[in-house]
């Protein structure tokens, strides 16, 4: 048995490695996806006042702190037994959409576009954002501009781009200023034009990746997402829905407080990340996927005109449900467009300028759960407190965790298809890493390649001798 190790997996948020085991004939016998970091937030939050939880848990990630702020604040709302005022809810939704825009732009343009536009087999020294800037400066500029636009909305609302203290239990701590609203509206046409142009361009290159589409985590699974009463996506306040690989609803209308009836959590020997599964199907059979691809699969419609048109074409091209994890990229761009459309709808509602944006209360319930769609998928925060409001117990299921089992299976499928024998080429290994990037995993923070070969691969014979080392 020989082992290939990809360490680290690059262009993802966080730290992970992949082990690929080859038998004596050079065939892939097994693969393991390892998340190699442990953070401990669920334990060291114990004893803290519940109202500190949004600002504490936002520190889990510097890429998507808004997502943790919102899920945590919703759990705190439940502990207080209050609903934020309507304007507070609209403002939370607005910053949430901005988070989707900036996060999806980062994932597509900065992390995955080097593979998609320069090629999976291109020189690894150039297969990064700097190579993309050199080869396709307009695409690189579009990525920077879209991410900047999302971050500027966050800064305009919360006065900070990272870890803002503006989202609080009961709502938000300041109303939207009219000049900020006008500034965002003025920037929307240019942002939409960039998103639409990128989406059209991406559709023209899809045919180049027929082999990857067929083999990038394409095994049918269940899917889960948050939907509204009409069946469309509701990133902020939807109800959880599970559907099977054929599109049949398995369970729906699930509120945050009831998630444990449907989601179990397994521990894996090779990873610090938990492995959630659909409890009625058991472990490990209950594999499901979340995130952009899953949301488009469970949604009947997007609810905004341009994104609805793109959703129809998406299913014509990719199938319905679409199963290839390669199509996470396609789905992500449709959601980016939908997020910009939602921002315009929210800003054109006069009620968004109302000044009553926060409800106040003390502890009225000893337990609360908050559930939202983060850019990468469903995010759940669940807290238990004592009578004084001190945290006694915390459970958090991060978006990437839901995809853990599916990512492991996808890594195995890609490795078995593309890797054969001792002549392991870098492009083969890059495809194994790329299927992980398709999910845009957020393992805590960003890791980026600097232009050097981003891994050391060692082939080890059964007697322990090194057959070959690459890197």
- Predicted confidence (pLDDT) per residue in 359-387, tens digit: 999 999 999 999 999 999 999 999 999 99
Q: Is the pLDDT of residue 52 over 60?
A: yes
The per-residue pLDDT for 460 is 62
The per-residue pLDDT for 453 is 36
The per-residue pLDDT for 236 is 97
The model's pTM: 0.90
The per-residue pLDDT for 410 is 94
> Where is pLDDT greater, at 5 or 219?
219
- Rounded average pLDDT over 66-86: 97
- Rounded average pLDDT over 109-129: 92
Q: How far apart are CA 191 and CA 144, in angstroms?
A: 11
The per-residue pLDDT for 445 is 33
Q: Is 218 left (phi over 0), alpha (psi -120 to 50) or beta?
A: alpha
User: Please, which residues bridge with residue 380 across strands?
Assistant: 371, 397
* Residue recorded with tokens 């609805």: 308
| Residue 93, H or E segment | helix 86-105
Tell me the pLDDT tens digit for each residue of 428-464: 889 999 999 999 987 653 322 233 334 445 566 666 6
Computed over every residue of the chain, the mean pLDDT equals: 90
Q: Is the pLDDT of residue 144 over 60?
A: yes
For 72, phi then psi, to 5°, come to -65, -45
Strand 288-289 relative to strand 222-227: parallel, antiparallel, unpaired? parallel
Q: Choose which CATH entry (3.30.540.10, 1.25.40.10, 1.10.645.10, 1.10.10.10) describes domain 8-13+37-446.
A: 1.10.645.10
> Where is pLDDT greater, at 423 or 170?
170
Cβ contact 57:382 at 8 Å: no
- Residues contacting residue 352 through CB under 8 Å, at least 6 positions apart: 87, 90, 91, 94, 176, 181, 346
Residue % of the chain over a pLDDT of 70: 92
Domain boundaries in the chain?
A: 8-13+37-446
Categorize the per-residue pLDDT at 25 as very low, low, confident or very high, splitting at 50, 70 and 90: confident
User: Before 178, cis peptide (omega within 30)?
Assistant: no
Tell me the pLDDT tens digit for each residue of 318-369: 998 999 999 999 999 999 999 999 999 999 999 999 999 999 999 999 999 9
- Rounded average pLDDT over 297-311: 96
Range with lowest mean pLDDT among 95-99, 151-155, 466-470: 466-470
The per-residue pLDDT for 121 is 93
144-164 burial, b for 16+ CB within 10 Å, e for fewer? bebbbbbbbbbebbbeebebb
The per-residue pLDDT for 469 is 61
* Residue recorded with tokens 């609302």: 157
- Residues contacting residue 53 through CB under 8 Å, at least 6 positions apart: 45, 72, 75, 76, 381, 383, 391, 394
The per-residue pLDDT for 386 is 98
Distance of CA 86 to the CA centre of its chain: 27
């Amino acid at each position: 048995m020989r082992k290939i190790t990809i360490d680290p997996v690059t262009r993802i948020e966080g730290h992970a490695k992949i082990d690929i085991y080859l038998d004596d004939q050079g065939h892939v016998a097994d693969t393991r996806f390892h998340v190699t970091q442990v953070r401990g937030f669920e334990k060291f939050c114990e004893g803290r006042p519940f109202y500190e939880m949004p600002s504490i848990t936002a520190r889990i990630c510097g890429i998507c702190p808004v997502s943790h702020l919102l899920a945590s604040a919703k759990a705190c709302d439940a502990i207080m037994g209050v609903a934020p005022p309507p304007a507070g809810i609209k403002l939370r939704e607005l910053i949430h959409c901005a988070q989707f825009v900036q996060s999806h732009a980062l994932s597509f343009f900065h992390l995955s576009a080097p593979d998609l536009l320069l090629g999976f087999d291109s020189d690894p020294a150039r297969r990064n954002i700097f190579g993309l800037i050199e080869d396709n400066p307009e695409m690189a500029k579009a990525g920077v501009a879209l991410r900047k636009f999302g971050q500027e909305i966050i800064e305009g609302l919360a006065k900070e781009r990272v870890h803002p203290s503006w989202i609080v239990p009961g709502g938000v701590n300041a109303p939207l200023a009219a000049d900020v609203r006008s500034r965002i509206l003025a920037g929307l046409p240019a942002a939409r034009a960039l998103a639409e142009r990128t989406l059209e361009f991406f559709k023209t290159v899809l045919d180049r990746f027929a082999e990857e589409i067929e083999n990038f985590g394409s095994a049918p699974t269940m899917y889960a997402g948050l939907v509204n009463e009409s069946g469309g996506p509701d990133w902020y306040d939807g109800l959880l829905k599970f559907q099977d690989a054929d599109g049949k609803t398995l369970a729906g209308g699930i509120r945050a407080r009831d998630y444990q009836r449907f989601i179990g959590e397994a521990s894996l020997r090779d990873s610090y990340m938990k492995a959630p599964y659909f409890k009625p199907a058991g472990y490990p059979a209950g594999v499901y996927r979340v995130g952009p691809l899953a949301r488009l699969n469970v949604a009947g419609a997007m609810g905004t005109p341009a994104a609805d048109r793109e959703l129809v074409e998406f299913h014509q091209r990719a199938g319905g449900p679409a199963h290839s994890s390669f199509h996470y990229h396609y789905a992500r761009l449709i959601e980016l467009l939908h997020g910009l459309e939602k921002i315009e709808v929210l800003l054109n509602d006069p009620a968004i300028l109302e000044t009553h944006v926060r409800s106040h209360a003390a502890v009225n319930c000893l337990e609360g759960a908050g559930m939202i769609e983060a850019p990468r998928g469903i995010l759940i925060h669940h807290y238990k407190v004592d009578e004084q409001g001190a945290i006694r117990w915390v459970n958090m299921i991060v978006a990437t965790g839901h995809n853990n089992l599916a990512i492991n299976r996808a890594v195995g499928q890609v490795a078995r298809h593309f890797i054969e024998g001792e002549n392991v080429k870098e492009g083969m290994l890059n495809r194994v890493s790329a299927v992980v990037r398709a999910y845009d995993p957020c393992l805590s923070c960003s890791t980026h390649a600097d232009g050097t070969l981003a891994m050391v691969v060692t082939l080890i014979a059964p007697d322990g001798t090194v057959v070959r080392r690459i890197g």
